[in-house]
Homo-oligomer: A and B are copies of this chain.
């Protein structure tokens, strides 16, 4: 088992990564001070419920916890205010009180949704993340929780840190290949913004990662979570540094919105967005290698680098204007000036972004 700490003073918390950790959930919860007197709500989705809910609930019940669960439909559409409200109803009916804990068992959608429930129920109760996807190594660390608004993603939310993150590598073994690749998108991102050596490691271990080799996967998640934790510790509320975690997200979020949250998985949209950022970087003077390495490593882990041609450029630009990173009239872009290093550029012109979006539709796809 690997262990990391997100350093946030009194609100510091551990991330555990290893095989078979669901079996240890009871003792790890107790160690973290999760109380047993108040009812606990596990939030999960249909697909994850089928595979892991009975197990987690049984382990926690055996440890003495009063467990209720709520199962939401799988997919991004559950990150809505109406599903949020139904979970509030469930929490009330189950008698959750101010000392209760909400547990998110699932991927990023479940984590974001259950996290906002935990942040808002009675103005905030405890929260535990049990991620079951690779992608969620990103969203489960750092306390950003939210639901979507029909006009923009993640616009209704809070900063609400979990008490612990419990990452059981066994839950990743049943992920479909497309989701494995999509999940690796944020792993690669953490390398691109912070650690050139780790980008090279991802390139070298792409096949093992795609084959879900536990040792490689454990290391990749440990490194990815490590970058995330380091950044969040320095800037919890995204005043400045934390923005670098948004590499690829300005374009990526717009693509997801325009494609309807279904055609492109989050990781795929971010992959295309990171290629866009690399292309922007080169245009602003970064070495060509930033673009070629970015494209190569993303391609090797099975991710798209070209923007689907039928997505309308005007609609993409419009969606971008609603982004939280559109600040006081200028556009904020995270620009990779070298592999393993990014800068925050707050004055990228709309015209240049439009040009990049157009070019992304022609992006050469490598073998």
Give me the interface of A with B, judged by CB distance under 8 Å.
37-38, 81, 84-85, 88-89, 92-93, 97-99, 119-124, 144, 146, 149-152, 155-159, 237-238, 322, 324, 326-329
Q: A156-B120, A158-B119 are in contact. Are A151 and B328 (CB under 8 A)?
A: no
A120 touches B326 (CB 8 A): no
A151 touches B89 (CB 8 A): yes
B122 touches A155 (CB 8 A): yes
Which residues of chain B are near A119, meaning CB under 8 Å? 158
Task: Give, as a whole number of angstroms, the nearest-CB distance from A155 to chain B.
Answer: 6
Task: Give, as a whole number of angstroms, the nearest-CB distance from A77 to chain B.
Answer: 16
- Whole-angstrom CA separation of A81 from B116 in the bound complex: 14
Question: Which residue of B has the minimal Cβ distance to A322?
Answer: B92
Main secondary structure of the interface of A (DSSP, over half): mixed
- Whole-angstrom CA separation of A144 from B150 in the bound complex: 27
A123 touches B98 (CB 8 A): no
In-complex Cβ contact of A97 among B38, B92, B326 (8 A): B326
Task: Give, as a whole number of angstroms, the nearest-CB distance from A333 to chain B.
Answer: 15
B37 touches A123 (CB 8 A): no
B327 touches A123 (CB 8 A): no
Which residues of chain B are near A38, meaning CB under 8 Å? 328
A159 touches B327 (CB 8 A): no
- Whole-angstrom CA separation of A256 from B367 in the bound complex: 67
- Whole-angstrom CA separation of A197 from B123 in the bound complex: 33
B155 touches A92 (CB 8 A): yes
Question: Which residue of B has the minimal Cβ distance to A80?
Answer: B85
A149 touches B326 (CB 8 A): no
A327 touches B97 (CB 8 A): yes
The 7 A-B residue pairs whose C-beta atoms are closest, nearest first, are: A37-B328, A123-B157, A122-B324, A92-B151, A120-B156, A97-B327, A81-B85
B158 touches A158 (CB 8 A): yes
In-complex Cβ contact of A327 among B92, B99, B120, B151 (8 A): B99
Which residues of chain B are near A84, meaning CB under 8 Å? 81
Task: Give, as a whole number of angstroms, the nearest-CB distance from A124 to chain B.
Answer: 7
B88 touches A149 (CB 8 A): yes
In-complex Cβ contact of A121 among B122, B156, B238 (8 A): B156
- Whole-angstrom CA separation of A333 from B128 in the bound complex: 30
- Whole-angstrom CA separation of A229 from B159 in the bound complex: 25
Which residues of chain B are near A146, meaning CB under 8 Å? 123
Question: Which residue of B has the minimal Cβ distance to A329?
Answer: B37
Question: Which residue of B has the minimal Cβ distance to A328?
Answer: B37
Q: A120-B156, A157-B120, A324-B98 are in contact. Are A89 and B149 (CB under 8 A)?
A: yes
